[in-house]
Chains A and B, each alone.
Chain A
């Protein structure tokens, strides 16, 4: 069951475990350091639960300075470090290894400063995504990137993965909504990247840090763009006979110059699973479903929804459900938002995250069901339709090692397909360990080397999250 390899634990580090732990204990208050195996177990995996590794120790620092002291110590001692937010990574990005310590930022969770005219909120990076929006909601603001895991996941994890969400079509992903970050580098030095002004000059180190999956440093603070809340928002639900019709409808809406805040697609298996769980009133006699949400005043919403309904009518829509109240809105979203949870109740699943050019949608959906059926498995699809970010959920039984292997192979085939049609391996979940060995499908040797040369500027010894993102073979190291 260990198809994906971790770097071989460094025996020299393991042999010095006690000394290392003692050194850490001398460095930080006692409640910052966790070494008890029972307590460490909570950190041995993330949401990619098929893999787990026990770390040497877990540290939960309370300040940037503590993080810096730990990093300097680890650098000096040659100890690997795996950064952790809430551990909701679906790519195994936060899974530790035996010769590493985990630095978790969950206690760095304070709101530091709301600058209203500047529309920025400065926070410690361990704050949860939802708590950011909650902090500015009384002033009529929100933080736009909204991963479905937003109740738990941290801004640090969002920055490390460049996370997205349902509302990205209009508002962009994490990288478009972060202005600054405080980062502790591998040697324990602290840098402030970006700031509270827009577009700082020079090389965009902040843009590089976003999406770097814990390989370049530990993010401890961030300056986030917050936006005024719309007066209101309302979805409409469409059912279509086929995915082709639904796809064509999405293209036509965009073609008409409308950019809804969200356009979510579900195929028949996903509709059935979500309806059985959430009783959201989804139509069960359709082949595909769209949930499209628009924002504004009541009149603006009515106006835009009417245009969208006209377009859907021109594309063979079979079922139209317009929300007339907050309850109905919640009802429509409830099914979609519980998609992962609902799926988890009927089977184990691997959640894929490839992105494709939307024009390829009908072809990719068809090929995907063929691929998965070829392995004797089932797949359900929910995805962000406006931007082509697919989330096929491959259903399998985790107690059957053979099924897990098949599911992983089906997943790899699907991601390869995404790259072949002009897309990419991951739209918002990150590479982690899950997609690491597929990187050569998307990048040439030179391209991987170029990325690793940049990585080496920050971490020449491969001490930060070393088992992730880049295949273990052919790693580039400075001479």
Chain B
């Protein structure tokens, strides 16, 4: 399945120069857990040989790792020092029914974030440095190991989320946050989606530092609907904020307090979109939308009896759709609300990941692709 496993950036750079000279196209895979196996390419390059943490300075809250380093290795090293990647990357394996190990490079390349994104920012906000090989087979570094850096154009941001279309990441550097002393989840039962969105939106506007806000609708199972707010910090602070929030939303009833493994499992389920693991959902759409416009989308979804899951206080909505759904029509609905949909899992062949309806923007994107990869050898067809 894999044609080349470089062990160093220079080795990869030479391989890319050769490929571009001979007109070959390259697909890049990390752990392969997103089910995005590159198609229609002449060679597949795996980053698995580019592995290992290159430096870790807990007192500076930064870590560098080669792109193929398994995410678990990074997270373990951080946990040993009481730190974490604050953006809480999603694990695609349950949803995509894939195996293997997600890699830190793919987390950067695909800008993968989870529930804490709503308060702490996305993977792209924490990625402070990269080393990559571009389509000319040059090794390019941008950003670095310090968290404030505005020297030159920000190629780090361009590559975060570029899904390997501009080049192959060989090393990534992330800034970190401490793992908080305590994590508490408030859970209200039985709210409908409109009430849940209103509660979460209001809570996010309080000074009580909501760490994550999600709503799991009633799926006709025993638990019913659950609206979740997560608090993190020193224990007395969490207790205080819990009380304040319980009082503020007392008209919705007393929230249940969830902690420990039970809370972690709940948030894992939200992060990994586990309500959609069943193959009955032929298409799983991930929608990013303004919180204030989420209710309109949810209303539309409920008209079709579609299963939803709501994260980021309403800014992220997962939709599970039936086999014969008209996806284009959904995309239209979502675009009309200023949002954007990604077909994360589908029985259909997804279109280009980066299609922009604005011709000018599409032109800029393909210009940038060309600026990095003039021969178009990386992940062709993504734009």
Contacts and interface: CB of A to CB of B under 8 A. Distances in A.
A259 B177 contact: yes
A392 to B, nearest CB: 15
A299 B236 contact: yes
A117 B201 contact: yes
B151 A425 contact: yes
A389 B148 contact: yes
Given A424-B144, A426-B150, A185 B360 contact: yes
**What bracket does the count of chain A residues touching chain B fall in?**
35 or more
B305 to A, nearest CB: 25
A450 interface: yes
Given A199-B113, A204-B161, A303 B290 contact: no
A249 B294 CA distance: 45
Contact of A164 (B148, B207, B314, B340): B148
Contacts of B82: 257
Given A197-B289, A450-B371, A258 B178 contact: yes
A202 B58 CA distance: 32
Given A172-B121, A357-B60, A358-B60, A201 B161 contact: yes
B331 to A, nearest CB: 12
Nearest to A388: B146
A176 B142 contact: no
A147 to B, nearest CB: 12
Given A192-B358, A199-B111, A387 B142 contact: no
B21 interface: no
Interface in B146-197: 146-158, 160-162, 165-166, 177-181, 197
A435 B150 CA distance: 11
A119 B213 CA distance: 14
Interface in A147-205: 161-162, 164, 168, 172-173, 175-176, 185, 189, 191-193, 195-205
A212 interface: yes
Nearest to B210: A228
A105 to B, nearest CB: 20
Interface stretch (B25-33, B67-75, B132-140, B262-270): B132-140
Contacts of A297: 237, 240
Contacts of B312: 198
A290 B335 CA distance: 49
B303 interface: no
B168 to A, nearest CB: 14
A431 B152 contact: yes
Most buried by B among A175, A198, A389: A198
Interface in A418-439: 422-431, 435, 439
B365 interface: yes
Nearest to A232: B207
Interface string A316-344: 00000000000000000000000000000
The A interface is mostly helix, strand or loop, or mixed, namely loop
B224 interface: no
Nearest to B201: A117
A255 interface: yes
A210 B157 contact: yes
Interface residues of B, number: 91
Interface in A426-459: 426-431, 435, 439, 442-444, 446-448, 450-451, 453-458
Contacts of B290: 115, 118, 120, 195-197
Contacts of B177: 259
Given A254-B178, A357-B146, A427-B146, A453 B371 contact: yes
Contacts of A314: none
Contacts of A430: 150
A450 B373 CA distance: 10
A387 B154 contact: no
Nearest to B356: A202
B53 to A, nearest CB: 16
B323 interface: no
B327 to A, nearest CB: 15
A451 B338 contact: no
A315 to B, nearest CB: 13
Contacts of B139: 446
B153 A201 contact: no
A359 B60 contact: yes
Contacts of B57: 357, 359
Given A191-B358, A358-B59, A428 B150 contact: yes
Contacts of B217: none
Contact of B147 (A193, A388, A442): A388
Nearest to B363: A457
A58 B121 CA distance: 38
B153 A211 contact: yes
Interface string A101-134: 0000000000000011111100000000000000
17 contacts: A116-B292, A117-B197, A198-B118, A201-B353, A202-B356, A203-B165, A204-B157, A204-B162, A207-B158, A254-B59, A257-B82, A355-B148, A388-B60, A426-B149, A429-B150, A448-B152, A455-B153
Interface of B: 57-62, 82, 111, 113, 117-118, 121-122, 124-125, 134, 136, 138-142, 144-158, 160-162, 165-166, 177-181, 197-198, 201-202, 204-207, 209, 233-234, 236-237, 240, 288-293, 312-316, 338-340, 342, 353-356, 358, 360-361, 364-365, 367-372
Given A176-B125, A215-B153, 13 more contacts: A173-B148, A196-B290, A197-B288, A199-B111, A200-B340, A202-B361, A203-B166, A204-B111, A355-B148, A357-B145, A427-B148, A446-B136, A454-B153
Chain A to chain B: the 4 pairs with minimum beta-carbon distance, closest first: A207-B157, A117-B201, A257-B178, A457-B367
